[in-house]
């Protein structure tokens, strides 16, 4: 499944569509093809405020968190650290910004370009401890492909 999903993302990235259309397609692919991904979205670095993330394309329930400063919440922490963050149980995460009471676990993968965070892939699950090493590698591979859009 992961190699075919990566290939579909590669095809989407090279499709010639707009960045937002491609990111929306990537969200949809992950949401439909990876079990227990209940919210999939991209946050993009605000071009006029480099230490703030702005909600981009996503699939799932709407969220009130449309702007997140670096360092705040799991998304902001991943951006500040420039590394993937996996949270097995959001209820014990002191820096968690709740989007839905149904969310139990989360993974956030930065999209890096020239050593800087340009965005990130945020995925929530209603299942605890669902994101293991296989999912981490898959989402990191996807973010490497997506980085070429920036």
Least confident of 7-16, 30-39, 53-62, 93-102: 93-102
The yes-or-no verdict on residue 120 having pLDDT over 60 is yes
Tell me which fold the domain 2-149 belongs to.
Beta-Lactamase (3.30.450)
pTM: 0.95
In the block, which residue shows the tokens 């930065």? Answer: 110
Give 50-94 pLDDT, tens digit per residue.
999 999 999 999 999 999 999 999 999 999 999 999 999 988 876
Question: Cβ-count burial of 71 within 10 angstroms (0-12 exposed, 13-18 middle, 19+ buried)?
Answer: middle
pLDDT value, residue 96: 67
Please provide the average confidence, as pLDDT, over all residues in the chain.
94
Identify the band that residue 1 occupies on the pLDDT scale cut at 50, 70 and 90: low
Torsion from C-alpha of 148, 119, 27, 109, nearest 10 degrees: 100
State residue 2's pLDDT score: 75
Could you state, in order of their start, the residue ranges of all structural domains in the chain? 2-149
Residue 116 has pLDDT above 80, yes or no: yes
**Which pair of tokens denotes residue 45?**
């670095």
Residues facing 106 on adjacent strands? 87, 124
């Amino acid at each position: 499944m992961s190699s075919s999903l990566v290939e579909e993302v590669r095809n989407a990235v090279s499709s010639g569509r707009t960045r937002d259309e491609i990111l929306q397609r990537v969200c949809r692919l992950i949401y439909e093809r990876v079990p227990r991904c209940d919210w999939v979205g991209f946050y993009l670095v605000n071009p006029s405020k480099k230490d703030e993330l702005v909600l981009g394309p996503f699939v799932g329930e709407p969220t009130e968190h449309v702007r997140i400063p670096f360092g705040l919440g799991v998304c902001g922490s991943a951006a500040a650290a420039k590394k993937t963050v996996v949270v097995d149980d959001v209820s014990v995460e002191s820096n968690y910004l709740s989007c839905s009471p149904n969310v139990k676990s989360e993974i956030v993968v930065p999209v890096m370009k020239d050593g800087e965070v340009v965005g990130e892939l945020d995925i929530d699950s209603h299942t605890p401890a669902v994101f293991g090493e296989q999912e981490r590698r898959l989402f990191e591979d996807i973010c490497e492909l997506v980085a070429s859009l920036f």
